Structure 1
Amino acid sequence: MGFWRRLGLPGLVDVHTHFMPERVLAKVWDYFDAVGPLTGVEWPIAYRHDEQRRLALLREFGVRAFTSMLYPHKPGMARWLNGWAAEFAARTPDCLHTATLFPEPGVDAYVREAVEAGARVFKSHVQVGAYDPNDVLLDPAWGLLAETGTPVVMHCGSGPAPGKHTGPGPVARLLGRHPRLRLVVAHMGMPEYTDFLDLAERYAEVRLDTTMAFTDFGERAAPFPRAELGRLADLGERILLGTDFPNIPYGYGHQLEALERLGLGEGWLRGVCYENGARLFEVV
């Protein structure tokens, strides 16, 4: 792919890609196929391949480091998913060892276990998990992740459909207690872009990933306000490339094209597509 070569980069760092146990991923795909209530639109999976083919494709796209975003929707799943993710990272050196969590008894223990086992990023999905990130059961885990500087990619915006605990309010309360938490707001916080940009300006460790934002698909559902492009440029060092691969209804390159057509310059693109993620995760 010529995009990153034209920018003089060694490749891409994608902080929002999904790898999970095959039977779990199959259920995720079934949900998209059924036009689930959280999406409400046709969502053909562009990269419906087996695991090895998906890995090969990411590498062909020039992705040098990526995540295995996975998430539980009920108690009792997170520790098992973390075990799978640790094994996946061990056999996939270019994957950033990913873990997850859920508000349940013992969450502080298995989050500590994951961190001590080398987890480099956590995924929190308050929409699918239908939980308040301020649940008292999670507080020790957030404290540990803030203390260790472990990034957390959180789907907390109200897109594609609002949940009981989505939106900037719960996140603002969380950051009020844990201001050093390295929170990466997934999907740029769509559709509450402005509110999440506010939080990024207020808290130095808040970042946002580009997943599905600015694409034709994303713009139809939740257009990014053009008036905020200046702030997007000013926060350039804290914007990270994310794509949602393989669960996207368009080609991988379209996310990159969508970023380029914002017109924020090659320096901004270099930071977003590689340098910011490489710095955060110490990718060499």
Structure 2
Amino acid sequence: MRRRPPRRTCCGTSGIPELRIFLTFFPIFPKTSVEILDWQTEFALRTPEALPFVSVHVHDGDPLPIVREALENRHFVGLKLHPYAQRLELSHPLLEPVYQYLEDTGAIFFVHTGYDAFYGRSGITPDLEQILQRHPKLITVAAHMLYPEIPKAFDWLERFPNLYLDGTGAVASADEDGLGETLYPLMERYADRVLYGSDYAMAIESVGASWKRFQEMPISDEAQKRIAWETPLELLKRRNWPFCGDLPARYRDVAYDKPKFKIGCPKSDGAGTGSPYRPGGRAHSAPINPWPVSPGRARSGPPGYTPPSPDNPLVKDERRRH
């Protein structure tokens, strides 16, 4: 007798839990924000597990139009910044409207914290503290738990009710540095505010080793379940991300549902009309470029986009640091 194939649902094969990953790719070179936004969109459309976060570069002018394009028209989950790798100051005035926009819309703000000695830089912790004070409703995830300032990170959970911690790298570092006895009870107590993270592909250890280390932590099964599954789901629900049953909707299903891509979006090749990111259409393999490009000129960017100039204060700050 032939085996009946498994029933398909909008969330994948029924009976098999479907993985979700936060795609937090960020530009580290000037004038690449739009190119990376295109790449992230294309990657998330063809990778069912990926839920994308936009990022911006300090030399790409006013960041707000790019963030709004990603969240309003491409339906990204939120924003990711890595102040040290991207060489930006979280406290810079040009970023303040972005934080206000994220707070107003309920989008998630993922930010690198800690490891100052590794990067040879400082300033994230006091800057982030001021941002959280100014924007108490901003849903924020502090990656790496301010490492090695773990107690301070968990103290912040009492002060800032919309703050979450991502244990990426911090668990392995705590084990190596003898801070595990401090970390484990805190993760048990605050499991509803902590997320598991792998930091692939820039992690301290492989995804498999990281997951094994997490499973062997001396915390309860209930706490592990919350950190690895329930807390991230709750975070997405707070973001008002669509769900299919008990699972977050795939990015491409959200894009299919709400086709609002701007000028220049390729036409449908299938039975559908308009955007190719809807039932009946076929997503093209070419990178998406929703903004027109004049012959012989660089990509212009979204409406309201301000190209970098020598007078851009972010550029000036960057030059002073070097």
Find the aligned partners of 1:183 and 1:170 in 2 and give their Cα distance: 13
Partner of 1:119: 76
TM-score by length of 1: 0.71
Aligned: 1:185 with 2:105: no
Aligned: 1:106 with 2:26: no
Task: Give structure 1 stretches of 5+ with no counterpart.
Answer: 1-61
Deviations 1:180-219 (A, max 9, x none): 111111122212212222222211111111212222x663
- Is the Cα–Cα contact under 8 Å of residues 188 and 213 in structure 1 kept in the other structure? yes
Find the aligned partners of 1:162 and 1:198 in 2 and give their Cα distance: 24
Partner of 1:94: 49
Deviations 1:116-151 (A, max 9, x none): 120113211011112211100111111111111211
Any residues of structure 2 matched to 1:137-152 within 5 Å, and which?
137-152=94-109
Find the aligned partners of 1:267 and 1:242 in 2 and give their Cα distance: 17
3-state secondary structure, aligned to 2:86: coil
- Is the Cα–Cα contact under 8 Å of residues 24 and 52 in structure 2 kept in the other structure? no
> What amino acid maps onto 1:274 in structure 2?
W
3-state secondary structure, aligned to 1:141: helix
Partner of 2:188: 233
Hey, which of these two has a bigger chunk of helix by percent? 1
> What amino acid maps onto 1:112 in structure 2?
R
Offset at residue 159 of structure 1 (A): 4.6
Identity %: 23
- Is the Cα–Cα contact under 8 Å of residues 168 and 195 in structure 1 kept in the other structure? no
Partner of 2:151: 194
> What amino acid maps onto 1:241 in structure 2?
Y
Partner of 1:56: none
The structure with higher relative contact order (CA 8 Å, sep 6+) is 1
Q: Give 1 or 2 for the bigger CA radius of gyration.
A: 2
Which of 14, 17, 24 in structure 2 is aligned with 1:69? 24
Deviations 1:141-168 (A, max 9, x none): 1111111121122112135624444442
> What amino acid maps onto 1:68 in structure 2?
L
3-state secondary structure, aligned to 1:208: strand
Which of 203, 206, 216 in structure 1 is aligned with 2:163? 206
Find the aligned partners of 1:167 and 1:262 in 2 and give their Cα distance: 28
Find the aligned partners of 1:105 and 1:65 in 2 and give their Cα distance: 32
Find the aligned partners of 2:214 and 2:220 in 1 and give their Cα distance: 10
3-state secondary structure, aligned to 2:76: coil
- Is the Cα–Cα contact under 8 Å of residues 157 and 166 in structure 1 kept in the other structure? no
CA RMSD between the two structures: 2.3
- Is the Cα–Cα contact under 8 Å of residues 174 and 180 in structure 2 kept in the other structure? no
TM-score by length of 2: 0.63
3-state secondary structure, aligned to 1:267: helix
Partner of 2:221: 266
3-state secondary structure, aligned to 2:184: helix
- Is the Cα–Cα contact under 8 Å of residues 169 and 204 in structure 2 kept in the other structure? no
Q: 1:174 to 1:74 in 2, by over 3 A?
A: farther
Partner of 1:58: none
